[in-house]
Amino acid sequence: MIPAHNEARTITPLIEYLEHLELKSTIIVVDDGSKDDTATLASLYGVTVISHERNLGQWAALRTGFYRALSSGTEAIIAIDSDGQNDPAYVPDLLRPVKEKRADFVIGSRFMNGTRPEMPIHRYVGIRTFNVLIRLLTHLKLSDCTSGYRAYSARLLTELLPTLKENQYGALEAVIKSAKLGARILEVPVPSIKASKSSKGSLRYWYNLTRVVVKSSFFHASNG
Ligand SMILES: Nc1nc2c(ncn2[C@@H]2O[C@H](COP(=O)(O)OP(=O)(O)OP(=O)(O)O)[C@@H](O)[C@H]2O)c(=O)[nH]1
Ligand SMILES: [Mg+2]
């Protein structure tokens, strides 16, 4: 499941790599109102392309793709960014614990085994801070809570999706609500690839993550 907003430069090599993995899976691209050729390029491959008429946000795109994946009766769903930041070679590593039913939610972490990925200091400190907040709220010990490279079981997503409200900054909402739903969450190591562009990292980004953490902390799973 590939959310894509103006990723014409990087979407083609990503799809080609995923096809070469021969995962016996469906590739879904959600073109989030791109103004470039993202949708046209993706359509050249035998993949499902869903286009939002206008840009709705990263997590709105993810939700659209998740609903489509669930309707196809899949067991496991993986989300991978299309800006070149997530190395698709690790897709099998992320899917494995879900397929083996050892986990409901697998996060590709750039910080495991003491690695310190190349990123601006404010981003590094921010992620560390949110890891601590998540731990206080959910008792979950994560090293990379904002990573967008994640695999989910269909069982968890069926329960989680109707609870998700954020259109853009949903990464922590999904973690906190999954934890409260009792999901088995684990991390696997992935290397960090430096982004060629970063649309986030501003004060607005951190403000929104904080807002989402506070809001999500009031979520109560109906099953307890
Ligand atoms: N920023 C952004 N990304 C979107 C949107 N819709 C879909 N996406 C896709 O969501 C994925 C992640 O977006 P990024 O902007 O790279 O977000 P990020 O990786 O969390 O942040 P960076 O570390 O700054 O790259 C990419 O594949 C985007 O193409 C949108 O409205 N805004
Ligand atoms: Mg990115």
pLDDT in tens, 166-214: 999 999 999 999 999 999 999 999 998 876 566 666 789 999 999 999 9
Do residues 71 and 63 touch, judged by C-beta distance below 8 A? no
* Residue 123 lies inside a defined structural domain of this protein: yes
Select from 4, 204, 178 the least CA-distant residue to 122: 204
Asked whether residue 162 carries a pLDDT value surpassing 60, the answer given is yes
> CA-CA distance, 46 to 204, in Å (whole number)?
38
Residue 125, C-beta contacts closer than 8 angstroms, at least 6 positions apart:
none
The CATH number covering residue 40 comes to 3.90.550.10
CA of 84 to the centre of ligand 2 (A): 7
Do residues 127 and 112 touch, judged by C-beta distance below 8 A? no
Using CB atoms within 10 A of its CB, is residue 194 exposed (0-12), middle (13-18) or buried (19+)?
A: exposed
Counting ligand 1 atoms within 8 A of each CB, the residue from 81, 144, 166, 209 with the most, and so the one to mutate, is 81
Of all residues in the chain, the percent with pLDDT exceeding 90 is 85
* Residue 165 lies inside a defined structural domain of this protein: yes
- Ligand 1 contact, 196 CB (< 6 A): no
- Helical (H) or strand (E) element with 52: strand 48-52
pLDDT in tens, 59-70: 999 999 999 999
Q: Among the atoms of ligand 1, which is closest to the Cα of residue 197?
A: 25
In the chain, what's the furthest Cα-to-Cα distance?
46
Residue 15, C-beta contacts closer than 8 angstroms, at least 6 positions apart:
2, 27, 29, 42, 45, 47
Asked whether residue 223 carries a pLDDT value surpassing 60, the answer given is no
Asked whether residue 224 carries a pLDDT value surpassing 50, the answer given is no
CA of 6 to the centre of ligand 1 (A): 9
**Number of domains forming the structure of the chain:** 1
CA of 79 to the centre of ligand 1 (A): 12
CA of 30 to the centre of ligand 1 (A): 12
Q: Among the atoms of ligand 1, which is closest to the Cα of residue 55?
A: 31
What pLDDT sits at residue 115? 79
Give the structural domain span for 72. 2-217
* Residue 153 lies inside a defined structural domain of this protein: yes
* Residue 35 lies inside a defined structural domain of this protein: yes
* Residue 224 lies inside a defined structural domain of this protein: no
What pLDDT sits at residue 122? 85
Q: Tokens at residue 180, please?
A: 């409260």
Q: Across the chain, what does the average pLDDT equal?
A: 94
Residue position matching structure tokens 């990723």: 7
* Residue 16 lies inside a defined structural domain of this protein: yes
> CA-CA distance, 223 to 93, in Å (whole number)?
30
> For the chain, give me the number of helices (H) and strands (E)?
8, 7
* pTM reported for the whole predicted model: 0.95
- Ligand 1 contact, 3 CB (< 6 A): yes
Q: Among the atoms of ligand 1, which is closest to the Cα of residue 81?
A: 27
* Residue 222 lies inside a defined structural domain of this protein: no
Give, as residue ranges, everything with CB less than 5 Å from ion ligand 2.
83, 85, 195
* Residue 223 lies inside a defined structural domain of this protein: no
> CA-CA distance, 163 to 178, in Å (whole number)?
10
What DSSP string describes 76-101? EEEE--SSS-S-GGGHHHHHHHHHTT
Q: Tokens at residue 215, please?
A: 């809001």
